[in-house]
């Protein structure tokens, strides 16, 4: 296997060092590089593909991704609020036990069916009708955002208790 040296900003390196036991940096870089090269290599269109149609498709997919990102961020904010202002020690311990299976789910590539029903596990204050009206992909993004922020805060706080 070939080896490469990469340079990353100091702040990113500090974050990586803190999570070194949970992040395989070589694997993450290889996946990102594969994705980038694939995009570059795929920029050459077949002669029968209309560029305007491709542009419309890309625009629509980017808009969908934008909504997914917004719901993920909304979930993060709500999760932080709950963890910082409402959750008890018992709530956070129960969260750690019952939500741990989401550790393997990534927001970039989750299957909405895998997260179906997880919004029912949220504290009641976050089970809004607005959330329930969203398609499964956006509900899933919200749940993953909520989970990510609560998990990060709880893991940092529990070592200090």
Residue-wise pLDDT tens digits, 111-147: 888 888 888 889 888 888 888 888 998 999 999 999 9
For residue 113, what pLDDT is reported?
A: 85
Which residues are within 8 A (CB) of 51 and not within 5 positions of it... i.e. 6 or more apart? 45
Percent of the chain topping pLDDT 90: 30
Average pLDDT over residues 13-36: 80
What does the alpha-carbon distance between residue 69 and residue 61 come to, in Å, rounded to a whole number? 12
Q: Report the sign of the C-alpha dihedral through residues 140, 106, 66, 49, in that order.
A: negative
What does the alpha-carbon distance between residue 154 and residue 89 come to, in Å, rounded to a whole number? 9
Q: How confident is the model at residue 152 (pLDDT cuts 50, 70, 90)?
A: very high
Taking Cα atoms as reference points, which of 80, 95, 74 lies closest to residue 142?
Answer: 74
Taking Cα atoms as reference points, which of 86, 142, 87 lies closest to residue 118?
Answer: 142
Which residues are within 8 A (CB) of 29 and not within 5 positions of it... i.e. 6 or more apart? 6
What count of other Cβ atoms lies within 10 Å of the Cβ of residue 96?
14
Q: Which range is most confident: 27-31, 56-60, 86-90?
A: 86-90
For residue 24, what pLDDT is reported?
A: 85
Pairwise pLDDT comparison (117 vs 37), residue with the higher score: 117
The answer to whether the CB of 94 falls within 8 A of the CB of 82 is: no
């Amino acid at each position: 296997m070939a080896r490469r040296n990469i340079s990353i900003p100091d702040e990113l390196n500090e974050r990586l060092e803190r999570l070194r036991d949970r992040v395989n940096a070589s694997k993450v870089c290889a996946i990102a590089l594969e994705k980038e090269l694939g995009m570059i290599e795929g920029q050459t269109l077949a002669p029968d593909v209309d560029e305007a149609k491709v542009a419309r498709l890309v625009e629509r997919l980017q808009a969908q991704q934008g909504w997914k990102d917004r719901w993920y961020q909304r979930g993060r904010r709500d999760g932080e609020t709950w963890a910082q202002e409402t959750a008890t020690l018992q709530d956070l311990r129960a969260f750690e036990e019952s939500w741990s299976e989401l550790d393997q789910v990534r927001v970039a590539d989750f299957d909405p069916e895998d997260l179906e029903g997880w919004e029912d596990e949220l504290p009641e204050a976050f089970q809004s009708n607005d959330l329930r009206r969203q398609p499964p992909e956006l509900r899933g993004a919200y749940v993953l955002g909520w989970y990510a922020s609560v998990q990060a805060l709880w893991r940092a706080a529990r070592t200090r208790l």
